[in-house]
Structure 1
């Protein structure tokens, strides 16, 4: 079959993304029923107004899967961990994920800090790039530090890892306060492998 005759596979659906997320019992040290997953509308209204730096808003929108064909969001609650984490699984039409990921890289080049609104009011956020893991087709990783959002407990310090695998982009966020956070590497690896296998079937 020639390239011109090749039919691009359809984007994974929200239901498929939910099925590819982790089920209860699959996440070590999770609280009972501590990994709920829900479909999300890629066109849902933003929770807060746009932030002060357009490039940073682009990064935030891509992390939320706002231009995807389908999105599923999973929440992680671990024992002995007050802050938890989240993954956003976003599926795109053929070729779109590669383009969106290129825009993510470009936006991070111009996003060192931004101001906006959060759950506690005005926030100031600094963004620090980190060496990405070798996983998926391409990946980026950075830390966001939100000054003073936790009411005297310390700065919010969130690790964000974004991985493109074929026509999907998965974002893994681990939250912490007063110290750097790390999302479990084995969960990122397992989720990436599931997304790859689903697109090959």
Structure 2
């Protein structure tokens, strides 16, 4: 990836450095574009440290270049207002031009939430449009994570 800050942003969002992580795919009724969630569990204090690295990376990452399954690309990062859930949360979109054959850009929303020793990332994909991961599902999942960590 062309920008180290962007690498930190994407790495933290995907659970890099976690002790354990799991990814779940969501298929929405009536929508061909999917979503997903990554739950990344960290040893004591390390989730907070990872999130502390994510915030400045997100503040400085505006675009990055890379190579994906469609070849070389240049993506733009757009920071959004985060839903107030968990101990701390951020939200952003990664927008990648797909070319005229796709009739629009790839637009993927990321909602990244720290709840105790877990970082949960919720993603929603769309092409030639803009979708958001349902806020109600984010809230319910984060509440479950918080309750599971209580002694």
Aligned to 1:89: 39
- Structure number with greater Rg is 1
Aligned to 1:169: 119
Alignment equivalent of 1:61, drawn from 11, 15, 34: 11
Aligned to 1:35: none
Alignment equivalent of 1:159, drawn from 91, 95, 109: 109
TM-score (normalised: structure 2): 0.96
Offset of 1:197 from its aligned partner?
0.8
Name the structure, 1 or 2, with higher relative contact order (CA <8 Å, separation 6+): 2
Task: Name the structure where strand makes up a greater proportion of residues.
Answer: 2
Offset of 1:149 from its aligned partner?
6.0
Q: Secondary structure at 1:175's aligned position in 2?
A: strand
Aligned to 1:72: 22
Q: Secondary structure at 1:129's aligned position in 2?
A: strand
* Alpha-carbon distance in structure 2 between the residues aligned to 1:167 and 1:139: 14
Q: Secondary structure at 2:43's aligned position in 1?
A: coil
Offset of 1:118 from its aligned partner?
1.2
Offset of 1:151 from its aligned partner?
3.7
Unaligned runs of 5+ in 1: 1-50
Contact 1:120 1:149 in 2 (8 A): no
| CA offset digits 1:51-89 (Å, max 9, x no partner) | 100110111111111100100100000121111101000
Structure 1 segments (4+ residues) deviating >3 Å:
none
Offset of 1:150 from its aligned partner?
8.3
Measured at CA, do residues 134 and 156 of structure 1 come closer, stay the same or move farther in structure 2, by a change above 3 Å? Answer: same
Size of the aligned set, in residue pairs, is: 151
TM-score (normalised: structure 1): 0.73
* 2:138 counterpart of 1:191: no
Contact 1:150 1:156 in 2 (8 A): no
